[in-house]
Every structure is written in structure tokens, then in C-alpha cells.
Amino acid sequence: MSDLIEVESVSFSYGSRSVLDSVSFRAGKGEFVAVLGINGSGKSTLLDIVSGFRKAETGSIAIEGRSQSEWSRREIAQRVSHLPQAVHADLPFTAEQLVGMGRYPHTDRWFESDEDHKRIRAAMERTSCWAQRRRAFRSLSGGERQRVLLAACIAQDAAALLLDEPSTFLDIEQQLHCFSLLRQEAQDGKLCIAATHDLNLALTYCTRLMVLADGVIAHDMQVAEAHENKEWLGRFSKRLDMGSTPAGSPWVWYR
Amino acid sequence: MSATQQLTFLARYSLTLSFVVFLGAAVLLPWVGAGPISLTRVLQHQAPDYEIFIQLRVSRTLLALIAGGALSLAGTLFQAMLRDALATPYTLGVSAGASLGAVAVIAAGWETFLGVPITWIGALAGALGVLVLVLGGAFRRRQISAFSLLLTGIAINSICAAFILILGGFASLSRSFSIARWLIGSIDATSYFSLIVLTTVVLIASVTILTQARSWNLLAVGERWAASRGVRVGRLLVNGYVLGSILAAGAIALTGPIGFVELIVPHLVRSRISPDHRILMPCAFFLGGALLALCDAIGRVVMPPAELPAGAVLALIGGPYLVWVIRQRTPAEEI
């Protein structure tokens, strides 16, 4: 498995509050990594830094073996797509127009080509939002919006997808659909890194868990190892425990 | 019809229609005025019809078309940058800076410099000063965001407004009247040299803005969104602010601070035609120009021989119309 993203000794702080303190990890194609941690643990900041939106104070990021600073913004966007935690889009873009923006890094054409439109449609159908394509994004429900944004990330056709709480606002069926879709993307050779608070979704669909705590990656393990050592659960709450589903999968529950 | 063909058709149809309206305004509106003008006399270069038509009517119609287009495009641009349909060059302090510059020279009693009306120079200098102050204030750690631009712009706007009030209060009665008259905004006959300069500046700035229309789409959704799709957000924001300021300052220098056109036209085009800046921006330019020229023509004929300032006509027509448009919105559109 080749490393697509290499994060080396990255630190970041907001004023005097240190959020990331010499964080290092590598991730490659085929992995579906869940970034876990309590509120304010630096999950979103880490994704912002890897996507190039924020600059790390120290440390380095490499994408496909080349320093992030050596890639142009557009070249990064061709390789890494980022789903932010919230997109407001107050101006009345339609869902299809928003997904179409995912094609921006791939074309210099004034309007998208037929090939672009095929990809836009395929992405929207995969995230079950094609029926809403003509509706204004701002008029959609939270869950519908999230599916449109996910479709935009998929339409971007990048090798790495960074997703900040992708299942937010989704109903249970759509949460399962979203995570199973991301797993499929990983199986098709992409790298998916998703920040999430849903431990069971992470345990069910992801291949690897990274737990951020006190500015560092406190735990970094394959999902198969997660139920062998329950210490990582204590990072979230003392009331958590882990058992197994009838199918034998690990399952987190609270006392 | 494929999605690409649909988009191309919409763009061609709406652009052609907007351009025809712009062209129609340019051809028809110079004939509208307090007194009739004979086409035959104009074609035969006979006084006074020929002079009135060429020196007064045509020049002010062209000024209204170019200034209205520039203001409307600047409004569209600032709305994309700030992700706010109510943003205008006033929001970011450019108009207030230009106004302060012009008011300062009126209060000082200066009239011309090397044959050029001093209000033009004052307005351009004021806008440039605000441009430097806002950009300087908005940068933090060599980075800039729409939020810091907005806050700095609002602060500078308030300071400029305060100075305008102070200057107006200390000026003599006649100069105070001149200041009030200039601040309403109006279209007056101007020299063709000024028009050529304004047109050249507006054309260069507009084309530069338009070539980045795809990036404005992304920025209108969000800075993080744009950055992760390959846009250099900081550079784009600075480009947008400088180019938008050039458009607004160029227009305001010749017309005074005419409001509403930069608010109402982008809103209408966005809701009736498309929010896609590749279509929205050129349509807003053409229709903004046509609307201001129409308001100027109406101002010439409603109370002859007196003329209503185009800014006042625009506010009187545009205000109620905007309220009507807002009342037509569905609840889903207001989310």
C-alpha cells in the first residue's frame, strides 16, 4: 500500500491554545480512516491542514510523495477533495450547480463538458440526490444538503477524500448509505479520511481508527484491533463499553 | 438536449437578450427628453437639435449605460465575495471613500484641475485611500478573509460617513447644497474624452472580472469550499476588491454615489435568470446599464424643464419593486 498522504510532526495553535502538537501519520490508497476525538480535539483543523486550507506552524505534509508546498492549489485539488463541516451557500445555486463545482480543478473550459456532466450525474445518483438537482441548495433539508456536498466531493474525482463529519444531518438509513459509499470508494482505490463522532459507524465501515486527544494521535489502530484494547474508549467517556453484535462485529454502547 | 447544450443555450439566450436591451437603451433613450428632437435636423447637423442630441443626450445616456453597468457588476462581485446578496460597494467602504474625496474638494471650493472637474480626482483619490486602508487593515498574518475585509470595510465606511457629515456641517450654505446634490447621484452630460477613459477602464476591469467567473462561483459558496477546489482564495479576494473598487470609483467619480442599481439588478438576474456568475455577471452589466439609463431618461421627462436626479428615480422605482420581489419569494427561498 503506497502512502498517498504523509503528515510529519504537524503542530497548530489558535492563539495561545495549542490544538495539534507534533502530529504524524501516513495513509494510503484503499484505506478508510476515521479521525475520532472529542469536540475541540483538532479533527477539523487536521483535515484543514491536510487539504491545504490552513498552514501548519511546524511540520510538513506530503501528497503522493511530494511536499504540499510544491503542488499548486489546483494540483492539490485534483488529488485531495475536502468536505467542510458546514457550507451555507446563501446565494441560490442549484444542487447540480454546486456539484458541478467539483469539476473546477479538472477543466479550463468556460462551461462543463458532456463528460463533466456525466460525472456530476453519476455522483448525484450515487448519493441519492439527483432528484433534487434543480432545487436551490439553500432550500434543501440538512440531510439533502449533506448528500449534495458529498456528491460534489465525489465528482471532484480526487484520490483522497477528506470529510469533516460527513454523516451530520443524515437520517440513519442515509448515514449507513454514506459510510458504505465511502467504504466502496476506499475499496475502489481511494483514500477516505472522515472525522466523525459516531464510533459505531467508524467501527462498522472504516478500516483504521485514529483518536486525537491532547493535541496528539493518542491511538492509531486497525479496526480489527479496536476491541482488543478498550483503553481508547476512555478518551470519549467513562460510560462507554464495547461488546459484539450477533454477527461478531464490535459495538460501542453506553452504560 | 444535453446538460452542456442546455447551459450553453441559457447563456446565449440570456446574454443576447440582455445585450439587446442594453443596445436598445443606447439607441432609443437619447431621443427621450424635455423637448423633441428632429431626426432629420440631427442627420443634417442643424443647430440646436444636433448639439443637444450629440453633446447632451447621447453623452449622458452613454455615461448612464457604462456607469450603471460598472456599478451593477461591482455589486455582483462584492455579493459573491461576501456571500451576501445585500453587499454593495458601500458595504466595503469604496463608495463612502469616493464620496468623502469628492465632498472634501467641494467643501474646499475647488472646481477644476487642468480642466478636469476636481470632484472626479477627489472621488478617485478617496476610493484609492479607502482601498489601501481596507486592504491594509484586513490582512492578518499575510492572509486575508472575506470576514476581515467586511469588518474593516464597515469600519472605514462609518469613519468616511462621519467625515462627510462633519464637512457638510462646516461648509458654507451654497457648498453644503452642492455636497447634498452630489451625494444624491445624477447623470450629467460629460465630455467624450471622459467617456472614453471611463469606458476603457470599465472594459478592462470587467473583462478581467469575467474571466474569473468560475472562481467567483466557488467563492460565493465559501472560502474553504473554493480553496479545496483549487482557488487561491487570498489572491482572488484582493483581485476582486481592487477590480470592484476600480469599477465603483470610476462610475461614482462621474455620477456621484448612485445606489440601488448594484443591489436590485444582480438580485433580479440571480433569481430570474441564473446565479451562475458566468451568466449572471455579463447580464448584470448590460441590464444595470440599461436600468440606470432608463431612470435618467425618466428623470428628464417627468417634471420638465426640471430634471430629477437618476439616483432618486432609481430609488423611487427600485425600492417598491424590490419590496414586491421579496414578497413574491417562497418560504423555501427565504431559508
**Integer CA distances (angstroms), B268 to B224, B260, B287, B325, in order:** 27, 12, 10, 8
Using alpha carbons only, give the angle A204, A61, A11 rounded to the nearest 5 degrees. Answer: 85
Give all domains of chain A, ordered by start, each with its CATH number.
3-254 (3.40.50.300)
Q: Write down the pLDDT at residue A159.
A: 94
pLDDT at residue B7 is higher than 60:
yes
pLDDT at residue A60 is higher than 90:
yes
* Comparison of pLDDT for B205 and A231, the residue scoring more: B205
* Alpha-carbon gap, residue A98 to A92, rounded angstroms: 10
| B224 near A CB under 8 A | yes
| B3 near A CB under 8 A | yes
Exposed e or buried b per residue across A142-177, where buried means at least 16 C-beta atoms within 10 angstroms of its C-beta: ebbbbbbbbbbbbbbbbbbbbbbbbbbbbeeebbeb
* Alpha-carbon gap, residue A187 to A180, rounded angstroms: 10
* Alpha-carbon gap, residue A137 to B231, rounded angstroms: 21
Q: Write down the pLDDT at residue B20.
A: 96
| B14 near A CB under 8 A | no
**CATH number, domain containing residue B24:** 1.10.3470.10
- Which residue of chain B is at minimal alpha-carbon distance from A118? B3
For residue B325, the tally of other CB atoms under 10 A from its CB is: 15
B76, B147, B228, best to mutate vs chain A, most A CBs in 10 Å: B228
Which residues in chain B are closer than 8 Å to A156, comparing Cβ atoms?
Answer: 229
List Cβ neighbours of A118 (8 Å cut-off, separation of 6 or more): none
Q: Write down the pLDDT at residue B323.
A: 81
The beta-carbon neighbor of A84 closest among B79, B83, B225 is B225
pLDDT at residue A1 is higher than 60:
no
pLDDT at residue B332 is higher than 60:
no
A61, A104, A109, A118, best to mutate vs chain B, most B CBs in 10 Å: A104
pLDDT grade for B335, boundaries at 50, 70 and 90:
very low
- Which residue of chain B is at minimal alpha-carbon distance from A93? B275
Q: Write down the pLDDT at residue B330.
A: 60
Are the CB atoms for A23 and A9 separated by under 8 Å?
yes
B231 to chain A, closest Cα gap in Å = 6
Which residues in chain A are closer than 8 Å to B229, comparing Cβ atoms?
Answer: 77, 81, 101-102, 104-105, 156
Q: pLDDT tens for residues A21-48?
A: 999 999 999 999 999 999 999 999 999 9
Q: Write down the pLDDT at residue B329.
A: 63
Q: Write down the pLDDT at residue B13.
A: 87
pLDDT at residue B181 is higher than 90:
no
pLDDT grade for A111, boundaries at 50, 70 and 90:
confident
* B225–A87 C-beta distance less than 8 A: yes
Q: Please give the share of chain B, as a percent, with pLDDT higher than 70.
A: 95
pLDDT grade for B204, boundaries at 50, 70 and 90:
very high
| B230 near A CB under 8 A | yes
B247 to chain A, closest Cα gap in Å = 22
Q: Which of A208-217, B102-111, B234-243 has the lowest mean pLDDT?
A: B102-111
pLDDT grade for B169, boundaries at 50, 70 and 90:
confident
Q: Please give the share of chain A, as a percent, with pLDDT higher than 70.
A: 99
The beta-carbon neighbor of A90 closest among B3, B83, B278 is B83
| B221 near A CB under 8 A | yes
pLDDT grade for B3, boundaries at 50, 70 and 90:
low
The beta-carbon neighbor of B275 closest among A82, A92, A121 is A92
**Domain residue limits at B297:** 3-334
Q: Write down the pLDDT at residue B110.
A: 81
* A111–B8 C-beta distance less than 8 A: yes
* A89–B222 C-beta distance less than 8 A: yes
Which residues in chain A are closer than 8 Å to B84, comparing Cβ atoms?
Answer: 90
pLDDT grade for B185, boundaries at 50, 70 and 90:
confident
The beta-carbon neighbor of A111 closest among B4, B230, B333 is B4
A230 to chain B, closest Cα gap in Å = 36
* A84–B222 C-beta distance less than 8 A: yes
* A48–B220 C-beta distance less than 8 A: no
pLDDT grade for A100, boundaries at 50, 70 and 90:
very high
Number of domains forming the structure of chain B: 1
B124 to chain A, closest Cα gap in Å = 31
Which residues in chain A are closer than 8 Å to B2, comparing Cβ atoms?
Answer: 114, 117
Q: pLDDT tens for residues B134-148?
A: 888 777 766 677 788
List Cβ neighbours of B113 (8 Å cut-off, separation of 6 or more): B121
* Alpha-carbon gap, residue B202 to A128, rounded angstroms: 45
Mean of pLDDT values over B98-107: 90
Q: Write down the pLDDT at residue B66.
A: 95
Q: Which of A50-64, B33-47, B67-81 has the lowest mean pLDDT?
A: B33-47
pLDDT at residue B31 is higher than 50:
yes
Query: In chain A, which residues touch B (CB < 8 A)?
Result: 48, 51-53, 72-78, 80-82, 84, 87-94, 96-98, 101-102, 104-105, 110-114, 116-117, 120-121, 136, 138-139, 156
| B234 near A CB under 8 A | no
Q: Write down the pLDDT at residue B89.
A: 81
pLDDT at residue B331 is higher than 70:
no
Which residues partner with A32 through β-bridges? A192
Q: Write down the pLDDT at residue B182.
A: 83
* Comparison of pLDDT for B297 and A86, the residue scoring more: B297
What's chain A's length in residues? 255
* A98–B335 C-beta distance less than 8 A: no
Q: Write down the pLDDT at residue B27.
A: 94
Q: pLDDT tens for residues A150-206?
A: 999 999 999 999 999 988 888 898 899 899 999 999 999 999 999 999 999 999 999
Mean pLDDT score across all residues of chain A = 90
* Alpha-carbon gap, residue B152 to B150, rounded angstroms: 6
